[in-house]
Amino acid sequence: MENSPQKIVIVGNGDDWKEEKIIYFCREADYLIAADNGLALLHQFKLTPHLIIGDLDSVSSTLLPQYSNIPVERYPGKKDFPDSELGIQKAISMNPQEITLLAVTGNYFDHSYAVIVNLFRYYQENIKIKIITSNSVIFPITRKISLTHLKGRRFSLFPLSPVKNISMTGAQYQFPRKNLKVTDYSLSNVIVQEKLEINLERGMLFCVLFDEGFR
């Protein structure tokens, strides 16, 4: 590939997704990675990946031959991490501006949580990374951020490490203390101003920002 892709989308095999989001983000991507049986989801919507990656243990034996012209990176089935992590590793190596993960959450809570952990395991300041679910976007916070034009939207915050000197403006609820433990959280908070600002000196939070109108 002559130019590195700026927007990479990874599609997994989870069941928490919405058709219009899959189609929109995949069509916006410069490079599309099917993680294991994410291939079936792409096939369903007539979207062709640039790469298929994973142990391929859940990919139909009749489906894979239909993509014989697409590069495949196959890994052993005996592993204790999700195929989406392989997709993230591959995407990070291509140094894009954005990585978007689709259909990577769902009924398997352990797999869903592992993908959230991987937002931080592979976090790089110069690469925006996020998970798109059927009704929200999940993204990491490790420094000051500002979100605008989201008044009325519901969001929740969860520390993945101790957080030092956190402050928020533009939110309905505030944390009762400046320093957070991993057992603290802000659940079903609401953006009440045109700009939500979250500032922290040190630590890791993930934000679940729900779609407009979701209650």
- The residue ranges of DSSP E strands in 13-104, in sequence order, are 31-35, 51-54, 72-74, 98-102
What average pLDDT does the chain have?
95
Last residue of one domain, picked from the residues 67, 102, 134: 134
Residue 64 in any domain: the answer is: yes
Paired with 180 in beta bridges are 163
pTM of the model: 0.95
**Residue 25 covered by a domain:** yes
Q: Which of 134, 160, 192 is the last residue of a domain?
A: 134
What CATH number is associated with residue 183? 2.60.120.320
Q: In this structure, are 17 and 97 located in the same domain? A: yes
Q: Model confidence over 26-36: pLDDT tens digits?
A: 999 999 999 99
Which CATH number belongs to the domain containing residue 52 in this structure? 3.40.50.10240
Choose among 136, 138, 132, 139: nearest CA to 11: 132
CA-wise closest residue to 116 among 143, 80, 140:
140
- The neighbouring-strand residues paired with 52 are 34, 72
Asked whether residue 129 is domain-assigned, the answer is yes
Sheet holding 195-199, edge to edge: 145-148, 195-199, 167-169
pLDDT digits (tens, 9 = 90+) for 131-177: 999 999 999 999 999 999 999 999 999 999 999 999 999 999 999 99
pLDDT in tens, 52-105: 999 898 899 899 999 999 999 999 877 888 899 999 999 999 999 999 999 999
Q: In this structure, is residue 215 part of a structural domain?
A: no
Residues ≥6 apart with Cβ < 8 Å to 186: 156, 157, 171, 173, 175
DSSP 28: H
What domain range is 87 assigned to? 7-134
Number of structural domains found in the chain: 2
Q: Is 48 helix (H, G, I), strand (E, B) or coil?
A: coil
Q: Is 15 domain-assigned?
A: yes
170-186: pLDDT as tens digits: 999 999 999 999 999 99
Q: Is the pLDDT reported for residue 1 higher than 80?
A: no
Residues 40 and 117 in one domain: yes
Residue 1 lies in a domain: no
Sheet architecture: strand order including 136-141:
72-74, 51-54, 31-35, 7-11, 98-102, 128-132, 136-141, 205-210, 154-159, 186-190
β-partners of residue 147 are 196
Question: Is 75 in the same domain as 161?
Answer: no
Instruction: Give yes or no: residues 76 and 96 share one domain.
Output: yes
59 and 95 fall within a common domain: yes
Do 99 and 49 lie in one domain? The reply is: yes
Distance between CA atoms of residues 108 and 113, nearest Å: 9
